[in-house]
Structure 1
Amino acid sequence: MIGRVTQQTLQRSTLANLQLNLSKMSDLQAQMSSGKKITKPSDDPAGTAQALSLRAQNRATTQYQRNAQDGEAWLTTIDTAMQTSVTTLRRVRDLVVQSGSGALNATGREALATEIEGLRDSLLGQANTSYLGRSVFAGSSNAGAAFRVDSTTTPPTYTWTGSPDASVQRRLAPDTTVRADADGSAFFGDGATSVFTMLDDIAAGLRAGTDVTSKLDDIDTRTSSMLGELSNVGTRTNQIKAAQSNNALALQDVSTRLSGVEDIDLAQTVVELQMQEVAYKGALGATARVLQPTLMDFLR
């Protein structure tokens, strides 16, 4: 059975095709203006899911990169404080060796004792170094200073306020973390075994006129321990720099993949838009012919 085609049917079909062409041209213009081929999830559901996954990966990697930068800043601050402390302790050793020459009188020994106490204060200042208001030698402790001094005792007591189990960690990758602080008790000692107590003993010995060269072995032991901790900080710094390099490559890779999913091919889109414009103009011409007949045309 042959269906009847009326003028209204023909008009309705022509207008529907015209609207379809106009919709396609609108989509292409939206892609051109935004530079993205996915302007809404329905444009490409699979591509949308992939883009969301890549964006989540990009955000995570960016956070890892910020963590690495913060960790590097912590370790750089620690490295500077440690190197300064080692240099200070070497100066103390030179003074102790000088005191053993036998050519110093009481005034000279007092001068050496005063200088050593000044070096002790310098070491204490380095031990209480902070970064952004947080002590770098006390882990996650909120005590404010890594070492607390009790001057009511003779000699003064130096107490480390941190905890070996409360370190500052920075995550560099989903399964990789690095320690960003340093153990102040391992580097400077704690209580009676601290480098500060040792320097107090040396200063007191100089004032009492005793031979303090026996402390050289203690100084060398502490210096060796400091250098070991300094080496550990260098190892962690290298680990962070390697992570930064890996994260930078990962970010570049994710950006490239995301661009492949979302970004348009500009040349191809321009060609498609021009073709659609030609089709739309043709549809307008056909529509003009379909809508041209009037009542007078039928009466003829």
Structure 2
Amino acid sequence: MITRVTHQSTQRAAVTNLQATQSRLAQLQERASSGKMITKASDDPAKAADAMALRKEQQASAQYSRNIQDGVSWLTSIDTAINTSVSYLNRARDLVVRGANSGATNAEAREALAVELEGLRESLAAQANTTYLGRSVFAGTADGPAYTQDTVTGDYTYNGSPGIVERRTGAGTTVRVDADGAAVFGTSNDPDAPDASVYALLTDIAAKLRAGEDIQSDITKIDSRKDKMLSEVTGVGARTNQLESAKEILGHKTMSLKGDLSAVEDIDLPATLIELQMQEVAYQAALGATARVLQPSLLDYLK
């Protein structure tokens, strides 16, 4: 059986092939100009889904990186505040040792020592109320300063909350970034209590100096408070190292995700350019062939 091929069917086939070739050429040109294999989900649904999942992981990693940097800044502020406070306590200890030598100090000298101790107390209060981005680093999740002073009695009150401030560094990992102000600076206004605040301790020593009382035993109290500060700063250092380690691991993961996304989305540029050139040649050949098929007929002249 002989199939009849009409001039009209040949024209339709030629135009269809030309359009298909032109569509492929446009797709290759778009890939070459954008550098991406996938410009819309319909190009490759499976790869598009993979790319979306990888981008989601990239966004999560970027957020974790911001969390880590914020946490490092919190802990750096705490480390500076505690180390500064330790230096103040070292100075206070030197003053107490000097004041304990009652045979070498007169009333005027003891008054001067008491005044300096009170100045150190105020300096310690400033360190205890250290803030980062407007939030106290020693008050937990509470708003406002960690310590406030009663204008009448002069006593300092701890206003921190038991809640802790954490930063998420991974899908199931968090790191504490604040410090327990009560453990660092104490809370009790009783200078003889185990949790005596550094403010109560220095206030009591200053009063004893003015009264000419023995302050030899207060050296041990200062050492005890300083040991608690050093214990806290050790924990801060450990948590800082944890964040730095998480930051390094996250950096490697970020680079890996970038490579994975590039493998899914990016084109092979040399191969794409070669295919584009071949498609351009094919398109030109298709144009030539179509021009031969679409010869004007007698009806075209009659029109």
TM range (shorter): over 0.9
| Structure 1 runs of 4+ with >4 Å offset | none
Judged with a 3 Å threshold, the aligned counterparts in structure 2 of structure 1 residues 296 and 121 are, in CA distance, closer, same or farther, namely closer
**What's 2:183 paired with?**
186
**What's 1:112 paired with?**
113
Mapped contact 1:140–1:162 kept (Cα < 8 A): yes
Confirm whether residue 216 of structure 1 aligns to residue 213 of structure 2: no
Q: Give the CA deviation at 1:293.
A: 4.9
Structure 2: distance between partners of 1:182 and 1:2: 92
Structure 1: distance between partners of 2:149 and 2:137: 17
**What's 1:162 paired with?**
160
**What's 1:145 paired with?**
145
- Kindly provide the amino acid, as one letter, of the partner of residue 69 in structure 1: Q
**What's 1:277 paired with?**
280
Confirm whether residue 58 of structure 1 aligns to residue 55 of structure 2: no
Q: Count matched residues.
A: 293
Q: Which moved more, 1:6-15 or 1:38-47?
A: 38-47
Confirm whether residue 177 of structure 1 aligns to residue 174 of structure 2: yes
TM-score, normalised to structure 1's length? 0.96
Judged with a 3 Å threshold, the aligned counterparts in structure 2 of structure 1 residues 205 and 14 are, in CA distance, closer, same or farther, namely same
**What's 2:192 paired with?**
none
- What is the DSSP-based 3-state SS (H/G/I as helix, E as strand, rest coil) of the residue aligned with 1:241? helix
Mapped contact 1:157–1:191 kept (Cα < 8 A): no
Q: Which runs of 5+ in 1 are unaligned?
A: none
Q: Give the CA deviation at 1:151.
A: 3.1
**What's 2:243 paired with?**
240
Mapped contact 1:68–1:240 kept (Cα < 8 A): yes
Structure 2: distance between partners of 1:191 and 1:157: 10
Question: Per-residue CA shift, 1:255-286, capped at 9, x if unaligned?
Answer: 01001100111101100000000111111111
- Kindly provide the amino acid, as one letter, of the partner of residue 158 in structure 2: W
Structure 1: distance between partners of 2:30 and 2:158: 64
Structure 2: distance between partners of 1:22 and 1:100: 97
Judged with a 3 Å threshold, the aligned counterparts in structure 2 of structure 1 residues 109 and 240 are, in CA distance, closer, same or farther, namely same
- What is the DSSP-based 3-state SS (H/G/I as helix, E as strand, rest coil) of the residue aligned with 2:161? coil
Q: Which runs of 5+ in 2 are unaligned?
A: 190-195
Confirm whether residue 47 of structure 1 aligns to residue 44 of structure 2: no
- What is the DSSP-based 3-state SS (H/G/I as helix, E as strand, rest coil) of the residue aligned with 2:175? strand
Q: Give the CA deviation at 1:173.
A: 0.3
Confirm whether residue 8 of structure 1 aligns to residue 8 of structure 2: yes
- Kindly provide the amino acid, as one letter, of the partner of residue 268 in structure 1: A
Judged with a 3 Å threshold, the aligned counterparts in structure 2 of structure 1 residues 107 and 290 are, in CA distance, closer, same or farther, namely same
Judged with a 3 Å threshold, the aligned counterparts in structure 2 of structure 1 residues 99 and 8 are, in CA distance, closer, same or farther, namely same
**What's 2:193 paired with?**
none
Matches within 5 A, 1:24-103: 24-101=24-101, 102-103=103-104
Determine what percentage of the aligned residue pairs are the same residue: 56
Structure 1: distance between partners of 2:231 and 2:242: 17
- Kindly provide the amino acid, as one letter, of the partner of residue 145 in structure 2: A
Structure 2: distance between partners of 1:32 and 1:258: 17
Structure 1: distance between partners of 2:296 and 2:23: 27
Q: Give the CA deviation at 1:296.
A: 8.8
Judged with a 3 Å threshold, the aligned counterparts in structure 2 of structure 1 residues 125 and 296 are, in CA distance, closer, same or farther, namely closer
Structure 2: distance between partners of 1:296 and 1:197: 111
Structure 2: distance between partners of 1:254 and 1:264: 17
- What is the DSSP-based 3-state SS (H/G/I as helix, E as strand, rest coil) of the residue aligned with 2:164? coil
Q: Give the CA deviation at 1:136.
A: 0.6
